[in-house]
Structure 1
Amino acid sequence: MRTAYSYVRLSSKRQIQGYGKERQWEAIQSAAHENGWFLSDKTFSDLGVSGWKGANIETGALSQFLRCVENGVVESGSILLVENVDRLSRAGVNKAVTLLLQLLDNGISIYTFTDRKLYEPDSPNPLMDLMGWALTAQRAYEESSRKSQMILDAKSKAQKEARKTGKIITRKCPSWLKVNDDKTAFEFVPERVATVKRIFELYLAGYGTPRIGRKLTEEGRDPLIGKHWYPRSVSRILQYRAVIGEYQPTSGGKVVGEPIRGYYPAIIDMEEFREAQGIIKEGGAGKGRRSNEMRNTFAGLLRCSCGQGMHIVSSVSKGKRYYQLRCVQYQIDCFRATWNYTKFSLTVLFGLRRLPLLDVMGTTSNKDLKTLNNRVRELTEELEELKNQVDNTVNAIAAVGINTALEVKLKQLTAQVAKTEKYLDITKAELEAAHGLETVTKHDNEMLIERYKDIVDNSNTVEGRIKLNQLLRRYLSKIVLTGEKGKGQRLIEVFRKDNKCILTIECDNRFSESIITGEGFSEAYGLSKYTRREATL
């Protein structure tokens, strides 16, 4: 008795939820019984898998069956039961015929129960079988192509209407929204809107994405997707432009045209969004490991003159706890001095507070913004012209037929379009980031002037230290500490993001008096007394 194996494929959700699977399975059992074949318990099913793109052959259950054939698990002489040819492939004649010949060459027969046709390796009419298979495959491919084009046309029409009128295209939308019953408006899901706003609030306050996830879990806020909060999912929300109301049409997973602004109701202010993008562009908020206390407000910035990082260590003497800074390679590869963290912190923060604001922040050049805007316009015009040339070339091919010159030209134009689109996307991203940095600069200009002292004074709380650390990391690249054991004189150098040294502090190991020097000024500062000395530079 020959062994038969079943293969069922359903491509749409409606087919899966309907009677399609049961119908195919009943027909398979009936075919096996009528022909006296033993039906194997091992079944192969691709549910929700397209046969047009060939996914079932490449990664689906059908690919598993083919491997079983190649490995001898499915023996030669076995039969594959399937509804019809298009259940195996809708990817065109070539792929369908290749699949048939692959199975037949391995001694596997195919029975299509719709037309009760058995394709055998030793068929008396192999040419007729091949032609019949190919014709059926071609009809299936043409039908899939027609349906696909209809869907694309309908989607394109809906997208155009959405651009003109704001009409809702689909019920699929961000998880903090839902479409009302008559599909005329979006409605908020209040608890999810509050969660998204909380994410931005925490990020702008200096929390990194891992810490935001933990904070949301502590607050009992459910994840928007999945069962847990992950840094990646938080990061995606922070960069998802739907929060400011934008919808980006796509087709086949590729971006189509410009985003539709105002399609969704915005839940995050544009200034907040740009500020978040500016922070992301600068390397992100709150990176690096932190203890629950977040004791080190200079985390991620401190460097020993040996080139290694520095961290806080603590000790207790006479019931009082002391904090010191030392190189992470202390007494391993580095034997340089340790530093009193509290005195170091007070001196550096005072020195930064005495600097002119722009010395700390740097400037965002309007000239750069203008250059980027001009480049976006140039690339947009160039892309439009290239697409017109592509259309003209395609029309020429349709009119006179394909030839080598037109084929080469179309290939070159297509490559130029892809290249220009890539450059345009990069330039737009740079422009958006520049706007974000401009927003950050504007925001922090006000904050540093009005609130910097408050932030420093309130750095005795975890929240305050996080905010201060975020502020410092946003504008500084590193703080280098140079000091030898047993020697009183030490040096602190503070560097801006552009690696320009903006502040030097010469001090002794007790910080009894420090000379703080910046561009245009030099002053003496002591922890127990303070005197100012005019610039001598």
Structure 2
Amino acid sequence: MPQTAIIYIRVSSAEQKDGLGLERQKTKAFEFAAEHSWHVEKIISDEGKSAFHGANMLEGAALHQFEVEARQGLHKGKVLVVEHINRLSRQGAKQAAQLIWSLNGFGVDVATFSASDRHIYRAGDGGDMIDIFKVVILADQAHQESKVKSGYTKATWEKRFAAMADGTQTKPIPHTPTWIDRIDGKLVLNAHRTAVLNEIYDLYINGVGIHRIVTILNDRGEAGWSTAVNRSKNGWFYSYVWRLLTKRAVLGEYVTGDGKTIAADFYPQAITAEKFNRAQVALSMRKSNRKVPATRNNSLLTKLVYCSECGGGAHYEETGHRDQTYKRKNGEIAHYRRQRYRRLRCDRARRKHNCDNPTILKYDVIEKTVLDELLPRLVDRPQEDRAVKELRASAAELARQIAVKQQQQSNLLDALGDSASKAVMARLAALEAETEAQQNELEAKNKQLDVLLAAPSDKDDTALIAGLRAELESQDDEVRTYARGRVNIALRRLLHRIEITPYDTFIIWPDEDTWWRFDENGTLLDGEQIWRAA
């Protein structure tokens, strides 16, 4: 009976681009298995997993899963076919040897088929010395090769970054954004993709969730942009749209993987700074971005209502919102709209978990109170957002400290003269490092401030809500869901929170210092206005 073989193939992210590495390994592996009359059970692969950093041995990787299954005895008597030891590990001789011996110990042979490493490490050989030396030598060679390549790659990128920063980079850079074409050596915006990119931003800013955006693009047959092998054929994905909404490359910036901005205008700008910042505001307010069925997306007050006792979120429940269809005796089809009930209560109290707030309020009363009673009071609210104030003050203080340190550096340079005091030089170096750190912090704060200032004004938000009032109860699920999503985002900018109290009342906080209390019917009881009049 022929031995069962499982083929393992791996490519790093650098090899993954054209997919040829996968096909070559697969073809050679099948040829090698045929030579030994092995029956190939399946192929497992790790695409874009680095063996130098051990990514293919982490949870979620195919090789990791295979080892777990082998440990459970699921692959005893089989052979793992791989091109070279370096496909298993590039972390050094010890790690590679341990992996192969571990698999051998679980009854799995390991076979390599490259010209330089054509060998079968048998499970029953009991640790043959030739095998041991062979594994150690080949694994160490693989580790040293990867170390050299890693150093070379790092040096190459450091040189590129320096050229980008001073504007002298002319050679093509890997991973050019997918909305940019290279024409005659120049980076040029792709008109169609730039239009789609702006559409994605506009939709998200206006309250359309990422899942819905993905559906819109796929429904109309918009070709995917992913550069991964065969990935673009599968249309649009949530993760890809999310990356488009967060990548600063749309502004023209080149930002490294660790968040360092190398150049502010390296690429042609596809999205305005104002639009990008508004999208970041929306992202910060919709952190979960989870998919919600159209028939469930009916609350304007999502992420706004909390319990005054335990601080937990409120539970929104809706019953009877669907039409009932039935056939009369004469065969006529009739539609009956059931009475709809919508309620809000403390979710923890509902689940009897660390809260006994008994209040259950009619959702429609709170919604009507917010829209009809409270919003008109907020239109001319003069105060600046507290977060903006604090950020401005913090940025101003940082700018002052930077100016002081720069003056100290200037004074030290003047005092240094022609002498080369080690103490002065050390102090100067320390000041330069402190100044650089504070300048980076100031840059980050200014970006945060830009995002906060990009939020629409209270007047803009109330005008938007007024313009969408007619669509909030539309019978068309698509129209209603879109309108209510936009209004929810606007309300979350306008209001701080709404609290359900244990006394059949609710309190609306437009900000942290102002409040109004209403009874279960939406009648104003007390709050800021009454307090001011007293």
Q: Do they fold alike, i.e. is TM over 0.5?
A: yes
Structure 2-normalised TM-score?
0.62
Cα deviation 1:34-65 (Å, max 9, x = unaligned): xxxx5444476757565544556664459738
Aligned residues: 453
Match for 2:515 among 484, 499, 502? 502
RMSD: 5.6
Which residue in 1 is equivalent to 2:139? Answer: 137
CA distance in 2: counterparts of 1:56 and 1:84, whole angstroms: 14
**The residue matched to 2:189 in structure 1 has which SS?**
strand
Alpha-carbon offset, residue 270 of structure 1: 0.9
The 5 A counterparts of 1:216-255 are 221=222, 224=225, 227=234, 233-250=240-257, 255=258
Whether the 8 Å CA contact 1:93–1:134 is kept in 2: the answer is: yes
Whether the 8 Å CA contact 1:325–1:341 is kept in 2: the answer is: no
Whether the 8 Å CA contact 1:286–1:470 is kept in 2: the answer is: no
Which residue in 1 is equivalent to 2:454? Answer: 439
Alpha-carbon offset, residue 69 of structure 1: 8.4
Q: Does 1:146 align with 2:148?
A: yes
Report the CA distance shift for 1:482/1:148 in structure 2 as closer, same or farther (over 3 A): closer
Match for 1:369 among 373, 392, 395? 392
CA distance in 1: counterparts of 2:85 and 2:290, whole angstroms: 55
CA distance in 1: counterparts of 2:401 and 2:444, whole angstroms: 15
**The residue matched to 1:179 in structure 2 has which SS?**
strand
Report the CA distance shift for 1:504/1:128 in structure 2 as closer, same or farther (over 3 A): closer
Q: Does 1:474 align with 2:469?
A: no
Unmatched runs of 5 consecutive residues or more in structure 2: 324-335, 351-356, 406-432, 473-481
**The residue matched to 2:533 in structure 1 has which SS?**
coil
Larger mean CA deviation between 11-20 and 238-247 belongs to 11-20
Which residue in 2 is equivalent to 1:97? Answer: 97
Which residue in 1 is equivalent to 2:278? Answer: 275
CA distance in 1: counterparts of 2:377 and 2:101, whole angstroms: 81
Q: Does 1:349 align with 2:372?
A: yes
Alpha-carbon offset, residue 436 of structure 1: 1.5
Whether the 8 Å CA contact 1:325–1:339 is kept in 2: the answer is: yes
Alpha-carbon offset, residue 151 of structure 1: 2.6
CA distance in 1: counterparts of 2:338 and 2:111, whole angstroms: 80
Alpha-carbon offset, residue 209 of structure 1: 3.7
**The residue matched to 1:186 in structure 2 has which SS?**
strand
CA distance in 1: counterparts of 2:103 and 2:359, whole angstroms: 72
CA distance in 2: counterparts of 1:66 and 1:17, whole angstroms: 23
Whether the 8 Å CA contact 1:503–1:516 is kept in 2: the answer is: yes
Alpha-carbon offset, residue 262 of structure 1: 1.7
Which residue in 1 is equivalent to 2:409? Answer: none
CA distance in 1: counterparts of 2:110 and 2:360, whole angstroms: 79
Unmatched runs of 5 consecutive residues or more in structure 1: 33-37, 383-416, 485-489, 523-534
Alpha-carbon offset, residue 94 of structure 1: 1.6
Which residue in 2 is equivalent to 1:402? Answer: none
Whether the 8 Å CA contact 2:380–2:459 is kept in 1: the answer is: no
**The residue matched to 1:71 in structure 2 has which SS?**
coil
Report the CA distance shift for 1:427/1:278 in structure 2 as closer, same or farther (over 3 A): farther
**The residue matched to 1:180 in structure 2 has which SS?**
strand
**Residue type at the aligned position of 1:432:** K
Match for 2:21 among 16, 22, 26? 16
Whether the 8 Å CA contact 1:339–1:509 is kept in 2: the answer is: no
**The residue matched to 1:173 in structure 2 has which SS?**
coil
**The residue matched to 1:172 in structure 2 has which SS?**
coil
Report the CA distance shift for 1:180/1:334 in structure 2 as closer, same or farther (over 3 A): same
**The residue matched to 1:358 in structure 2 has which SS?**
coil
Whether the 8 Å CA contact 1:304–1:327 is kept in 2: the answer is: no
Which residue in 2 is equivalent to 1:409? Answer: none
**Residue type at the aligned position of 1:152:** K
Larger mean CA deviation between 163-172 and 196-205 belongs to 163-172
Match for 2:173 among 163, 170, 178? 170
Alpha-carbon offset, residue 465 of structure 1: 5.5
Whether the 8 Å CA contact 1:89–1:95 is kept in 2: the answer is: yes
Report the CA distance shift for 1:180/1:363 in structure 2 as closer, same or farther (over 3 A): same
Whether the 8 Å CA contact 2:164–2:262 is kept in 1: the answer is: no
**Residue type at the aligned position of 1:164:** D
Sequence identity percentage:
18
Which residue in 2 is equivalent to 1:536? Answer: 533
CA distance in 1: counterparts of 2:70 and 2:289, whole angstroms: 51
**Residue type at the aligned position of 1:238:** L
Whether the 8 Å CA contact 1:281–1:433 is kept in 2: the answer is: no
Report the CA distance shift for 1:426/1:229 in structure 2 as closer, same or farther (over 3 A): farther
Which residue in 1 is equivalent to 2:412? Answer: none
Which residue in 1 is equivalent to 2:469? Answer: 459
Report the CA distance shift for 1:429/1:79 in structure 2 as closer, same or farther (over 3 A): same
Report the CA distance shift for 1:218/1:50 in structure 2 as closer, same or farther (over 3 A): closer
Alpha-carbon offset, residue 242 of structure 1: 2.2
Alpha-carbon offset, residue 495 of structure 1: 0.7
**Residue type at the aligned position of 2:493:** R
CA distance in 1: counterparts of 2:112 and 2:254, whole angstroms: 47
Whether the 8 Å CA contact 1:279–1:285 is kept in 2: the answer is: no
